[in-house]
Amino acid sequence: MDIVINGGASDVVRIIVILTIITLAPFMLLMMTCFTRIIIVLGFLRQAMGLQQTPPTQVLVGLALFITFFIMAPVISEINEEALQPYNNRQIETSEFLDRASVPVKEFMLTQTGLDELSFFRSLSPETGLEDLEPMQLPMSILVPAFTLSELKRAFLMGFLIYIPFLVIDTIVASTLMSMGMIMLPPVMISMPFKILLFVVVDGWGLLVRTLIMSFN
């Protein structure tokens, strides 16, 4: 009882908030950061090259995570300075902490969200008065699915562009084998080394990572 009277109750609230954030962290990472676009594009690359298990999924997820932390570093830094530090110093309450922390995240998501997606979820929402709100005033229930839909759209477009050079190689190899009468030889077996060689020669990993990072700027 003495602990609660002496301010322990606020500590309990802080612990509950921290545990809630930790619980929701995987979903926040997937739905509110650049992780979705990055991991989908990396998956498209592996399929386009015809490599089913190379690089391993754990490596791709790890690479996507560190690229995500690199891109989201300014957002994380702003949340730490504007929300987390004042909250830890007991300068603001929990509700204000959540409001301050959501501002950098909303700004990031809005820069990557298309107007069509925002309008789409605005029109489907049962809430009234959303059409009169500024984008920053929209609730997360509108921003998060609109942002995710925009990320999926861009990721699939980038995946399509990645497929094109490898598809050209597959077509050339298949046509060559057919002209030589080697119909029984799988074209993928012959084209895979050429695709790997092309990817290495043009510094494919560097180009891909650079393109992913620049796509958020």
Q: pLDDT tens digits for 114-140?
A: 888 888 888 877 776 667 677 788 888
Highest mean pLDDT among 4-8, 17-21, 90-94, 186-190: 90-94
Tell me the pTM. 0.79
Q: How far apart are CA 188 and CA 193, in angstroms?
A: 9
pLDDT at residue 40 is higher than 60: yes
Say how far apart CA 114 and CA 120 lie, in whole Å: 10
With a cut of 50, say whether residue 41 has pLDDT above it.
yes
How far apart CA 108 and CA 32 sit, in angstroms, is 9
In this prediction, residue 13 carries a pLDDT of: 63
Cβ contacts of 191 within 8 Å, gap of 6 or more: 50, 169, 170, 172, 173, 174
* Rounded Cα gap, residues 19 and 4, in angstroms: 19
pLDDT digits (tens, 9 = 90+) for 65-75: 999 999 989 99
Helix (H, G, I), strand (E, B) or coil at 68: helix
Cis peptide leading into residue 55 (ω within 30°): yes
Q: Where is pLDDT greater, at 215 or 128?
A: 215
Q: For residue 1, what pLDDT band results from cuts at 50, 70 and 90?
A: very low
Question: What b/e string do you get for 97-134 counting C-beta neighbours within 10 Å, with b at 16 or more?
Answer: beebbbebbbebbbebbeeebbeebbeeeeeeebeeee
Tokens for 13? 């609230």
Query: Rounded to an integer, what is the distance from CA 166 to the centroid of its chain?
Result: 24
Instruction: Check pLDDT > 60 for residue 3.
Output: no
How does DSSP classify residue 191? H
Q: What is the mean pLDDT of residues 91-120?
A: 84
CA distances from 159 to 35, 84, 118, 155 (A): 15, 37, 23, 6
Give 142-176 pLDDT, tens digit per residue: 888 899 999 999 999 999 999 888 888 888 887 77
